[in-house]
Amino acid sequence: MSVKLNQIIIGDNNPFVLIAGPCVVENEKMIFETAIAIKKITSELDIPFIFKSSFKKANRTNLKSFTGLGDKESIAILKKVREQLNLSVVTYIHTESDVDMVIDSVDILQIPAFLSRQTDLLIAAGKSGKVVNIKKGQFLAPEDMKHAVDKVASTGNNKIMLTERGTTFGYHNLVVDMRSLVIMRELGYPVVMDATHAVQLPSKDLISGGQPKFIKPLARSAMAVGIDALFLEVHPDPKNALSDAASQLPLGELKELLIEMKQIDEIIKHKK
């Protein structure tokens, strides 16, 4: 099964789609500069691109951590990116009321991994008619995502994608079982690999840590398994990012990685 989003087709052995952008909307200048830079790179490489950024961070380790500029301001920035740069946009939602706030400003509603079992949220997302990207909970087996899919599909909305982002392994660590990509695709929907959240060291000390040196190996591995989209949080200066500073890919390293990703994708999908 494939999902069509404007001129982009995700799935059905089509070339992979990049979903990328900074973790959270920090300010308008950085968001636009990053979106423009990624659009330029993906246009040169002929890779379909969907811009991602959270309008707010509802799940932070530390009470004092940055959660956003404010809902209205952040959503307005995402809408400007969508309209002025002619890009499809995805953002996280955390509550049913979030759906109404973002519905006119984004193209994909993303369900956080920690909320992948929240029935009311999944149904509200489905009723929106938008594409719904459900991230697999760190606590779920891949086959268990069938229940999340059924909740969205019960609304008559089959525009669903499923994202792998690692499974809890002991304390403060995640592992990625590449079999999950195969298993989730058997549910009949496009699969996405989140290669940046998968390298997090969750809730370690006052903030979540990360091992960004593993972003590229995980992305390569997932692409070799065969995925429909690659999810990357990308930031021009990750060390100074206001969220997920330890697990975002530096913008300056994106093009080289995407060249590799496209080569692997073409081999796996027998494209020329």
Residue that has been written with the tokens 């069938």 in this structure: 146
User: How many separate helices (H) and strands (E) can be counted in the chain?
Assistant: 8, 15
pTM of the model: 0.95
Angle at 248 between CA 9 and CA 69, to 5 degrees: 90
SS3 109: strand
What would the mean pLDDT of 24-29 be, rounded to a whole number? 97
Give the pLDDT confidence score for residue 272 in this predicted structure.
Answer: 46
Helix H or strand E encompassing 213: none
Each residue's pLDDT tens digit, 113-126: 999 999 999 999 99
SS3 194: strand
Q: How far is CA 262 from the centre of its chain?
A: 18
Q: Which residues have CB under 8 Å from 179's CB, separation 6+?
A: 142
CATH number belonging to the domain at 2-269, selected among 3.20.20.70, 2.60.40.420, 3.40.47.10, 3.90.1150.10: 3.20.20.70
Give the pLDDT confidence score for residue 227 in this predicted structure.
Answer: 98
Q: 71-84 and 28-45 are packed helices; what angle lies between their axes, rounded to 10 degrees?
A: 30
Confidence of residue 21 (pLDDT cuts 50, 70, 90): very high
Confidence of residue 11 (pLDDT cuts 50, 70, 90): very high
Confidence of residue 65 (pLDDT cuts 50, 70, 90): confident
Task: Identify which of 171, 160, 212, 215 has the alpha carbon closest to the alpha carbon of residue 193.
Answer: 215
Structure tokens that stand for 92 in this block: 């996280």
Each residue's pLDDT tens digit, 193-245: 999 999 988 876 656 677 889 999 999 999 999 999 999 999 999 999 998 88
Percent of the chain with pLDDT over 70: 96
**Total residue length of the chain:** 272
- Return the exposure string of 168-200: e unless at least 16 CB atoms fall within 10 Å of the residue's CB, then b: eeeeeebebeeebbebbbebebbbbbbbbbbbb
On average, the pLDDT of the chain sits at 94
Give the pLDDT confidence score for residue 206 in this predicted structure.
Answer: 59
Give the pLDDT confidence score for residue 172 in this predicted structure.
Answer: 85
| Residue boundaries of the structural domains of the chain | 2-269
Percent of the chain with pLDDT over 90: 86
Say whether pLDDT at 264 is over 60.
yes
- Return the exposure string of 230-269: e unless at least 16 CB atoms fall within 10 Å of the residue's CB, then b: bbbbbbeebeebbbbbbbbbebeebeebbeebbebbeeee
- Return the exposure string of 94-111: e unless at least 16 CB atoms fall within 10 Å of the residue's CB, then b: beeebbebbeebbbbbbb
Each residue's pLDDT tens digit, 123-169: 999 999 999 999 999 999 999 999 999 999 999 999 999 999 999 99
Alpha helices, DSSP H only, in the chain? Answer: 28-45, 71-84, 96-102, 119-127, 145-153, 179-185, 215-225, 254-269
User: What is the C-alpha to C-alpha distance for residues 265 and 261, in angstroms, rounded to an integer?
Assistant: 6
Give the pLDDT confidence score for residue 256 in this predicted structure.
Answer: 98
User: What is the C-alpha to C-alpha distance for residues 5 and 49, in angstroms, rounded to an integer?
Assistant: 11
What would the mean pLDDT of 61-77 be, rounded to a whole number? 84
Helix H or strand E encompassing 115: none
Q: Which residues have CB under 8 Å from 255's CB, separation 6+?
A: 41, 44, 45
